[in-house]
């Protein structure tokens, strides 16, 4: 007895009907996870704060443009074993105290970041990569890899532009009010870095990071320097 022939297209259609709901379920689960575990500290919808008071009260970075900012593989790893990126938290003034040699970080005021399981981290990372607000500020493929020595990069970063006052270039060396930059090349997308350095206030209108009005030819050089730092073993 001959078996009925099922066309290739029909097989594909049948398979799609089986898998498509699962895909939607996973996407929904990711959003549900973000709302349950992340929304208390992070803005998932936008827009960015428009007052200094709101900046002071911010508990974590905005995530409504996470898909334009972060590297997915880093997100999935970090969410399973989070380490502090901003030594003094989101707003420096909320987490310092007088010390014998001046202001020092009040470690007791800093709450640990929630830790996710491997499966939840993957769900969250995928859901975050779908959040692509402010895509008009990104020029895909704008960054072209170049080379720069560590010493020249540090000269640009510290002596010429004064960025070391707010950012660490290795653990314990640099400012504490901004995020460290020795892992930034692993954390953030290169095109985002260029766009953000070009005009931080276009992304975050009331952010404390000043617009340094960097020359266009210098923007990729900073990213090159961050990549050099990311290759260092600071353990």
pLDDT in tens, 144-155: 999 999 999 999
Mean local confidence (pLDDT), 45-69:
96
Tens of pLDDT, residues 157-206: 999 999 999 999 999 999 999 999 999 999 999 999 999 999 999 999 99
Q: Which token pair is 145?
A: 């890899």
Structural domain ending residue among the three candidates 81, 114, 133: 133
Which of 69, 43, 71, 64 is closest to 55 using CA atoms?
A: 43
Q: Is the pLDDT reported for residue 79 higher than 70? A: yes
Q: For tokens 């689960």, what's the residue?
A: 29
- Residue 152 belongs to domain spanning: 136-235
Rounded Cα distance, 59 and 57, in Å: 6
Q: What is the pLDDT of residue 102?
A: 86
Q: What is the pLDDT of residue 233?
A: 85
Q: What is the pLDDT of residue 21?
A: 41
- Classified as helix, coil or strand, 96 is strand
Whole-model pTM: value is: 0.87
In terms of domains, do 83 and 140 share one?
Answer: no
Phi, psi (5° rounding) for residue 137? -85, -10
Q: In sequence order, what DSSP letters do the residues of 150-192 get, joined into one string? A: HHHHHIIIIIIT-GGGT-EEETTEE-SSS--STTHHHHB-HHH
In terms of domains, do 58 and 169 share one?
Answer: no
Q: Do residues 115 and 82 make contact, with C-beta atoms less than 8 angstroms apart?
A: yes
What is the number of structural domains in the chain?
A: 2
Tens of pLDDT, residues 84-103: 999 999 999 999 999 998 88
Tens of pLDDT, residues 95-147: 999 999 888 999 999 999 999 999 999 999 999 999 999 999 999 999 999 99
Measure CA of the first residue to CA of the last residue in the chain; give whole Å: 70
The stretches of the chain forming alpha helices (DSSP H) are 8-37, 52-57, 66-69, 72-78, 118-129, 150-154, 184-187, 190-198, 200-203, 219-230
Rounded Cα distance, 234 and 71, in Å: 21
CATH number at residue 229: 1.10.760.10
In terms of domains, do 57 and 96 share one?
Answer: yes
């Amino acid at each position: 007895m001959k078996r009925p022939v099922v066309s290739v297209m029909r097989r594909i259609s049948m398979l799609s009907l089986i898998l498509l709901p699962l895909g939607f379920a996973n996407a929904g689960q990711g959003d549900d996870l973000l709302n349950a575990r992340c929304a208390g500290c992070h803005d998932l919808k936008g827009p960015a704060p428009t007052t200094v008071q709101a900046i002071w009260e911010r508990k974590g970075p905005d995530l409504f443009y996470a898909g334009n900012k972060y590297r997915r593989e880093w997100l999935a790893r970090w969410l399973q074993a989070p380490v502090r990126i901003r030594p003094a938290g989101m707003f420096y003034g909320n987490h310092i105290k007088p010390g014998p040699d001046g202001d020092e970080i009040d470690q007791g005021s800093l709450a640990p970041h929630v830790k996710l399981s491997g499966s939840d981290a993957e769900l969250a990372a995928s859901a975050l990569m779908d959040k692509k607000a402010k895509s008009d500020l990104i020029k895909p493929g704008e960054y072209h890899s170049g080379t720069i020595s560590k010493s020249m990069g540090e000269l640009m970063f510290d002596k010429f532009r004064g960025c070391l006052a707010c950012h660490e270039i290795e653990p314990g060396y640099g400012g504490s009010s901004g995020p460290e930059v020795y892992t930034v090349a692993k954390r953030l997308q290169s095109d985002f870095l260029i766009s953000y350095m070009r005009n931080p206030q276009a992304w975050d209108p009331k952010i404390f990071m000043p617009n340094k009005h960097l020359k266009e030819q210098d923007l990729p050089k900073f990213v090159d320097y961050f990549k050099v730092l990311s290759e260092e073993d600071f353990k």
